[in-house]
Every structure is written in structure tokens, then in C-alpha cells.
């Protein structure tokens, strides 16, 4: 199953393709002007990463000169690398951008992974607590 997320504009055009079958995300940026004028793939940049490396999807606020606030959907990777899904902030309601982030999080099933990790971490701490000697003054 593949899902495309993109924003159409006249300059640089970002696109993210989440491919569950291949287990990869493809982050592309290309210049629409070059693509139209040269009728080729000129000016296209692409980065591929494993879907398992995506740790979180969240919304960042950015100040937009003269207009106030804008919002970015950002992919956070386990390596510490962050990649915005758009080149510039999207104006409008934060809730609209959060809805997109929530859809991506649901598609990638990141909530299930976090819940599973929380359970495994809590069971590890319970087991490690059992190994510790009890304080004789504890009741």
C-alpha cells in the first residue's frame, strides 16, 4: 500500500511516498519549473529511508513574516534526523495540520509501536526491580 503526501506550488515541490510493501519512505523534492521546461527528471532530489526508522510524526510551529504563524508536519527518525514534509509552513488552523500528522501516524501504526515499547519497558523495569535487594527497613 502506498500513500502520497505532497503540496502543490510553483517552486520546489516536496513529496513523500510511504510504501508499506517495500517498508520505505521516499522523500522527494523537485523544481516544477525545471520539470515543465525540460520535460525530464532534472532538478529532482530523492532520499529513501526505512519506515521502521520513523520514530514520530509531529507538528512544528513556525513564524511567518507579516502573516503570523504557520505549521509544518515533521518526520522524526530514530537517528535524530528530522525532515519536514513541506518546504515552508502551511498557513491556517493548527488542527488541520495536526489531522494530517495524525493520519500519517495512524497509517504508519506508530501508536501501536509506542504502546508495545512502553509495555516492554515497563516489564523490563519490573523484572529488574525484582533482582534488587530489599531494604530491611521497608515495610
pLDDT at residue 110 in the model: 86
Q: What is the pLDDT of residues 87-117, one digit of tens each?
A: 778 888 888 889 999 999 999 988 875 555 5
How many domains is the chain built from? Answer: 1
Q: Which residues pair with 84 in a beta bridge?
A: 74
Domain that holds residue 106: 2-128
56 confidence band (pLDDT: 50, 70, 90): very high
Is 136 contained in some domain? Answer: no
Instruction: Tally Cβ neighbours within 10 Å of residue 27.
Output: 19
Residue 94 lies in a domain: yes
Q: Report the predicted TM-score, pTM, of the whole model to 2 decimal places.
A: 0.64
Distance CA 21, CA 49 (A): 13
Amino acid at each position: 500500500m502506498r500513500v502520497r503526501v505532497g503540496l502543490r506550488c510553483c517552486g520546489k515541490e516536496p513529496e513523500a511516498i510511504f510504501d508499506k510493501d517495500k517498508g520505505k519512505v521516499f522523500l522527494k523534492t523537485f523544481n516544477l519549473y525545471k520539470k515543465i521546461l525540460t520535460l525530464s527528471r532534472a532538478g529532482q532530489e530523492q532520499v529513501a529511508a526505512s519506515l521502521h526508522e520513523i520514530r514520530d510524526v509531529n507538528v512544528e510551529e513556525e513564524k511567518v513574516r507579516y502573516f503570523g504563524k504557520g505549521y509544518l508536519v515533521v518526520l522524526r527518525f530514530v537517528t535524530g534526523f528530522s525532515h519536514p514534509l513541506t518546504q515552508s509552513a502551511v498557513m491556517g488552523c493548527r488542527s488541520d495540520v495536526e489531522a494530517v500528522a495524525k493520519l500519517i501516524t495512524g497509517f504508519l501504526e506508530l501508536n501501536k509501536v509506542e504502546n508495545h515499547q512502553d509495555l516492554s519497558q515497563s516489564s523490563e523495569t519490573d523484572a529488574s526491580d525484582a533482582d534488587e535487594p530489599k531494604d530491611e527497613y521497608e515495610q
